[in-house]
């Protein structure tokens, strides 16, 4: 059972970052009438995948991914989707204070009781890491008793070894169709994996089933906080 929240804020850098690991959780909160905002920092316009077979090109990809993101949001039931307009593959070079302030502004406006993002250090891609760092820096400035909870997605190879087992496991079976639709919405990026999952589901393959039964997160371990302090903050 997913805990009741006042407001859930989901922050990721790319359209489709939510698709495989979080869309079931998002749909679950929305099915409980929990207000939820998804802030997507870029349009993933530098993505390598152009569809399978290719149907996008460098010019059309941003528009296509924007439409895919809207479609995915609809599939999950999101009615507060924020496209934050930053540039794909550049977040690690953005000013750290600007990145942190962007998150602080969202927190000030929405007063979330839970934020979902990547786990810094275990998020693999530089844009993912930059996003995670900005969230940690923004939340760290809040008095520890008033901080929203942080549920973080981690998938680096050393995740289990370093962080142990995830402490937050959401059962998403009830919303699995919504999750599949969210994954299908991002078809320019997801076609390959989706084909594997859909074939697997036909024969109850456990590897495929795990995508539509559970989603796992780590509560951020403040006692092992390794995100660098910003000078002047």
Nearest residue (CB) to Zn ion, 16 versus 178:
16
- Strand-strand pairing, 81-83 and 114-118: unpaired
Among 17, 18, 68, 88, contact with Zn ion (rule: CB under 5 A) = 17
- Our CA angle for 190, 18, 2, nearest 5°, is 130
Closest separation in Å from C-beta 193 to Zn ion = 13
88 binds Zn ion per the rule CB under 5 A: no
For Zn ion (CB under 5 A), the number of binding residues is: 2
Nearest residue (CB) to Zn ion, 8 versus 130:
130
Q: Among 8-16, 22-30, 71-79, 106-114, which window interacts with Zn ion (CB under 5 A)?
A: 8-16
Structure token pair of residue 59: 């010019």
Secondary structure class of 38 (helix, strand, coil)? strand
Q: Among 15-23, 49-57, 68-76, 158-166, which window interacts with Zn ion (CB under 5 A)?
A: 15-23
Q: DSSP string covering 100-155, please?
A: HHHHHHHHHHH--SEEEEEPTTSS-SHHHHHHHHHHHHHHHTS-TTTPPEEEEE--
- Strand-strand pairing, 168-171 and 214-219: antiparallel
65 binds Zn ion per the rule CB under 5 A: no
Question: What are the backbone dihedrals phi and psi of residue 166, each rounded to the nearest 5 degrees, phi first?
Answer: -60, 145
Nearest residue (CB) to Zn ion, 14 versus 133:
14
14 binds Zn ion per the rule CB under 5 A: yes
Query: What residues make contact with Zn ion under the rule CB under 5 A?
Result: 14, 17
């Amino acid at each position: 059972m997913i805990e009741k929240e006042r407001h859930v804020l989901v922050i990721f850098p790319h359209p489709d970052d939510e698709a495989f690991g979080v869309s079931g959780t998002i749909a679950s909160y929305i099915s409980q009438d929990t207000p939820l905002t998804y802030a997507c920092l870029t349009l993933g316009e530098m993505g390598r995948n152009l569809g399978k077979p290719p149907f996008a090109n460098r010019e059309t990809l941003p528009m296509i991914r924007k439409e895919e993101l809207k479609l995915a949001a609809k599939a999950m039931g999101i009615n507060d989707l924020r496209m934050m307009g930053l540039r794909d593959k550049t977040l690690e070079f953005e000013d750290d204070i600007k990145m942190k302030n962007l998150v602080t502004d969202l927190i000030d406006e929405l007063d979330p009781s839970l934020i979902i993002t990547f786990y810094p250090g275990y998020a693999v891609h530089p844009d993912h890491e930059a996003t995670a760092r900005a969230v940690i820096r923004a939340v760290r400035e809040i008095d520890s008793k008033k901080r929203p909870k942080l549920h973080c997605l981690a998938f680096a190879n050393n995740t289990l070894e370093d962080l142990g087992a995830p402490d937050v496991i959401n059962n998403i079976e009830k919303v699995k169709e919504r999750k599949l639709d969210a994954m299908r919405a991002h078809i320019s990026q997801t076609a390959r994996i989706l084909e594997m999952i859909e074939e697997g589901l036909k024969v109850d393959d456990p590897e495929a089933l795990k995508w539509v039964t559970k989603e796992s997160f780590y509560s951020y371990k403040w006692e092992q906080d390794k995100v660098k302090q910003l000078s002047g903050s």
